[in-house]
Amino acid sequence: MQIGVNAWVWTSPLTTEELENLAPQVKEMGFDWIEVPLEDLADMDHKRGAEIVKEFDLGVSGCVAMGPDRDLIHPDKAIRDNGMAYVKGAIKAVNDLGGNNLVGPLYSAVGRTWQSTAEERVRDTDLLVENLSDLSKYAADYDVMLCVEPLNRFETSFINLAWQAIDVVDRVDHPNCQIMLDTFHMNIEEKSLGNAIRAVGPRLHHVHACENDRGAPGTGNIPWDEVAKALNDINYDGPVVIESFTAKVKSIARAAAIWRALAPSQDALAEDGLKFLRQLLN
């Protein structure tokens, strides 16, 4: 498996200049992979970004930032259309970066929660399947894999569990629409992390390895042996990426509820997490 780290551990937004500084650091730490948050598609020259990650022999993926005006199932069609345009732009950005995986909650704005009736959930799911079907065809033209991520109940009321993502992805029924699982969210929502991973099976194309408090993997209460065994059971060999955030960037800290330091330093969070995951997975 290739072990990576999301740039959100250190900074937001990730600009071209920031990537030039961060890529050699990530490589020197021993990571195989860097994940690029795509908050604003104009933050970075993505083709220059491809040159940077190639120079340091890093794999790369893109992570969506679904905000209030980017929502594929919002009642307002203008917001849905803007969300579709953003995801299509993010697909192209990942291709320009030289990557293949575009990951995240590819359905609704993070933080948008609402109480649905059974009929409303059917309607919203039908709409998402329609929109993801369109996006999957677009992604195939750019050789990009969409990896749909369930989030915890405090960040969305729509897709919280692996089986809900499975239902959507199986209905889309396109090879470029698959699933990402994040252990931070799973730890809140799933009865068994191992069983959820095994249920997703071959649909799993990306993993965020995150501790229960967003600190360094291996320092909290995630059942990592269970996670590792399940990944082995399904022969998973894709990216495993540490995602955390820094309290120094106020906007992202507020959005992710990062109110205190989660490790002695952000470098320590990354390095300690990498060492633990290497021992666990390799």
List the CATH number of the domain containing 27.
3.20.20.150
Instruction: Residue 230: give the domain boundaries.
Output: 2-281
Distance CA 198, CA 217 (A): 21
Predicted TM-score (pTM) of the model is 0.97
**pLDDT of res. 82:** 98
For residue 159, give the amino acid letter: I
pLDDT at residue number 254: 78
| Tens digits of residue pLDDT in 157-204 | 999 999 999 999 999 999 999 999 999 999 999 999 999 999 999 999
243 in active site: yes
Looking at residue 166, its pLDDT comes to 98
Distance from chain centroid for Cα 62: 8
- CB-based contacts of 86, cutoff 8 Å, min separation 6: 41, 64, 70
Total residues belonging to the chain: 282
pLDDT of residue 169: 98
Q: What is the pLDDT along the chain (282 residues), one digit of tens a residue?
A: 999 999 999 999 999 999 999 999 999 999 999 999 999 999 999 999 999 999 999 999 999 999 999 999 999 999 999 999 999 999 999 999 999 999 999 999 999 999 999 999 999 999 999 999 999 999 999 999 999 999 999 999 999 999 999 999 999 999 999 999 999 999 999 999 999 999 999 999 999 999 999 999 999 999 999 999 999 999 999 999 999 998 776 777 777 888 888 999 999 999 999 999 999 997
Number of domains in the chain: 1
Strand-pair category, 239-242 with 204-208: parallel
pLDDT of residue 257: 86
CA distance 204 to 177: 10
Q: What value does the CA radius of gyration of the chain take, rounded to a whole number of Å?
A: 17
Q: Are 132 and 172 in contact (CB under 8 A)?
A: yes
Among 149, 155, 190, 211, which one carries the catalytic annotation? 149
Question: How far does the chain reach from its first CA to its final CA, in angstroms?
Answer: 7
211 is catalytic: no
For residue 266, the model assigns a pLDDT of 96
Q: Which of 35, 39, 211, 243 is catalytic?
A: 243
Give the sign of the dihedral formed by CA 145, CA 146, CA 150, CA 151. positive
